[in-house]
Amino acid sequence: MTLRVTTVITESTRNLGKSTLYFFLTIAAIKASHSLYRCIRSLTMSSSSSSTSNNTADASTLRRNRILSSKLYFDVPLSKVPLIYSTAYDISFLGMEKLHPFDSSKWGRICRFLIVDGVLDKNSIIEPLEASKDDLLVVHTESYLSSLKSSANVAMIIEVPPVALLPNCLVQQKVLYPFRKQVGGTVLAAKLAKERGWAINVGGGFHHCCSERGGGFCAYADISLCIHYAFNRLDISKVMIIDLDAHQGNGHERDFSNDRRVHILDMYNPEIYPFDHEARRYIDQKVEVVSGTTTDEYLVKLDEALAVAGKMFDPELVVFNAGTDILDGDPLGRLKISPDGITSRDEKVFRFAHEKNASLVMLTSGSVFKFMLSL
């Protein structure tokens, strides 16, 4: 009886030992599995991080190579004044352009006025090159540029619905080609400004367009392109955008949202297009001027903003988006700034750049009464 009980106990103990052994082996296997998972996950994340880093480096190298191989920068004789314009700037497509309040033929009238008035010699104007696809890819995505092959998409960007009915070949020629010429002018203006101290593109200032989308009569991000070219070709490392168009410059704000080399001062009416609240978060100096703001109020705010900007940032290049849709009576800007007020505004920005020893690029942007007020 005792032997039998002992045998049973011995057998039970042996079974218990096996169970215990299996239990601990299972725990060990689970732990090993978790360790292996963590190791694989760590390697995967490291590989992913390395891949992301490599992709970023590759994109940066590709951008730089595109800029260095671009033909948009070229030498200009000293006999030419640093003023850029082409008769190709004006946009005209079967009268449809008149369906938008933006004056798409203003650039030619500005230059004709200056020539007739004796302020400008026709032969001293600089003609820019058209920005190529490779030039545009410095900032824009391939998918965005492909979207412009749809007339409907272009119609939405320039806010003229009937353009959607036109063959895209016609839209490319009559709408997008003039925009690409103006982009070439803005890019070249930075080179001239570095050489001469200042330069004016009688066009450009498409501040509603960013790398992935256009809008507000802005199909290409000429300001962003201009700055990237300056970083890579002009040995410039600090740029200030002074955007004094009546509308918020949401395009360049999105493009330089995380770039501390760029300081953005944007003075705009918050009650009008584009209502881009996300982009407003990327403005370094936000100065809001509501509908009905008068000349004196406006200039006081500008003086204060420029004083602060001078203490916050030391630019080597100032990109001045000098829209005149702040003019009293402009249906889009809704501000009440006099012609003399606009002249004073422009003089203040030129003086600011001079005092900071910074080169200045001036873009005409919105409205019509522009360059004649500033010379």
The pLDDT tens digits for 108-165 are: 888 888 889 888 999 999 999 999 999 999 999 999 999 999 999 999 999 999 999 9
The total of other beta-carbon atoms located within 10 Å of residue 127's CB is 15
Question: At 83, is the secondary structure helix, strand, or coil?
Answer: strand
Instruction: Decide: 269 and 291 in contact? Cβ < 8 Å.
Output: yes
Instruction: Decide: 117 and 139 in contact? Cβ < 8 Å.
Output: no
What per-residue confidence (pLDDT) applies to 41?
A: 54
pLDDT tier, 22 (very low <50, low <70, confident <90, very high otherwise):
very low
Burial code of 254-278, b = ≥16 C-beta within 10 A, e = fewer? bbbeeeeebbbbbbbbeebebebee
pLDDT, tens only, 90-111: 887 766 666 666 666 778 888 8
What average pLDDT does range 227-233 have in this prediction? 98
Question: Which distant-in-sequence residues (6+ apart) come within 8 Å of 364 by Cβ?
Answer: 106, 107, 110, 200, 201, 202, 203, 204, 205, 322, 323, 324, 370, 371
Residue 70 has pLDDT above 90, yes or no: yes
Q: Report the mean per-residue pLDDT for the chain.
A: 87
| CA atoms of 312 and 286, how far apart (whole Å) | 13
Q: Of 140, 207, 208, 228, which is the active-site residue?
A: 208
Identity at 24, one-letter amino acid code: F
pTM: 0.83
pLDDT tier, 53 (very low <50, low <70, confident <90, very high otherwise):
low
Of residues 15 and 336, more confidently modeled: 336
Query: CA distances (Å), 258 to each of 45, 205, 255, 283, in order?
Result: 24, 21, 8, 11
Measured in residues, the chain has a length of 375
Among 104, 116, 87, smallest CA distance to 372 is for 116
Of residues 41 and 121, more confidently modeled: 121
Residue 368 has pLDDT above 70, yes or no: no
Among 124-128, 187-191, 256-260, 362-366, the least confident range: 362-366
What per-residue confidence (pLDDT) applies to 102?
A: 63
Of residues 295 and 110, more confidently modeled: 295
Q: Residue 207 is encoded by which pair of tokens?
A: 């501040």
pLDDT tier, 291 (very low <50, low <70, confident <90, very high otherwise):
very high
> Active-site residue 277, yes or no?
no
Question: Which distant-in-sequence residues (6+ apart) come within 8 Å of 101 by Cβ?
Answer: 331, 332
Residue 29 has pLDDT above 60, yes or no: no
Number of helices (H), then strands (E), belonging to the chain: the values are 13, 7
Residue 63 has pLDDT above 60, yes or no: yes
Q: What is the DSSP letter of 336?
A: B
Residue 344 has pLDDT above 80, yes or no: yes
Residue 356 has pLDDT above 80, yes or no: yes
What per-residue confidence (pLDDT) applies to 103?
A: 66
Question: Which distant-in-sequence residues (6+ apart) come within 8 Å of 138 by Cβ?
Answer: 63, 66, 67, 70, 225, 228, 229
What per-residue confidence (pLDDT) applies to 38?
A: 58
Burial code of 100-110, b = ≥16 C-beta within 10 A, e = fewer? bebbbebbbeb
Please give the share of the chain, as a percent, with pLDDT higher than 90.
73
Strand partners, 361: 199, 319
What per-residue confidence (pLDDT) applies to 23?
A: 43
| CA atoms of 289 and 247, how far apart (whole Å) | 10
| CA atoms of 48 and 51, how far apart (whole Å) | 5
Query: CA distances (Å), 120 to each of 153, 195, 293, 354, 373, in order?
Result: 38, 20, 33, 23, 14
pLDDT, tens only, 239-280: 999 999 999 999 999 999 999 999 999 999 999 999 999 999
Among 297, 208, 295, 198, smallest CA distance to 245 is for 208
Of residues 84 and 19, more confidently modeled: 84
Among 38-42, 62-66, 365-369, the least confident range: 38-42
The total of other beta-carbon atoms located within 10 Å of residue 12's CB is 10
What average pLDDT does range 204-226 have in this prediction? 97
pLDDT tier, 49 (very low <50, low <70, confident <90, very high otherwise):
low
Instruction: Decide: 48 and 163 in contact? Cβ < 8 Å.
Output: no
Question: Which distant-in-sequence residues (6+ apart) come within 8 Å of 119 by Cβ?
Answer: 372, 375
Q: Is 236 exposed, middle or buried (0-12, 13-18, 19+ CB in 10 A)?
A: buried
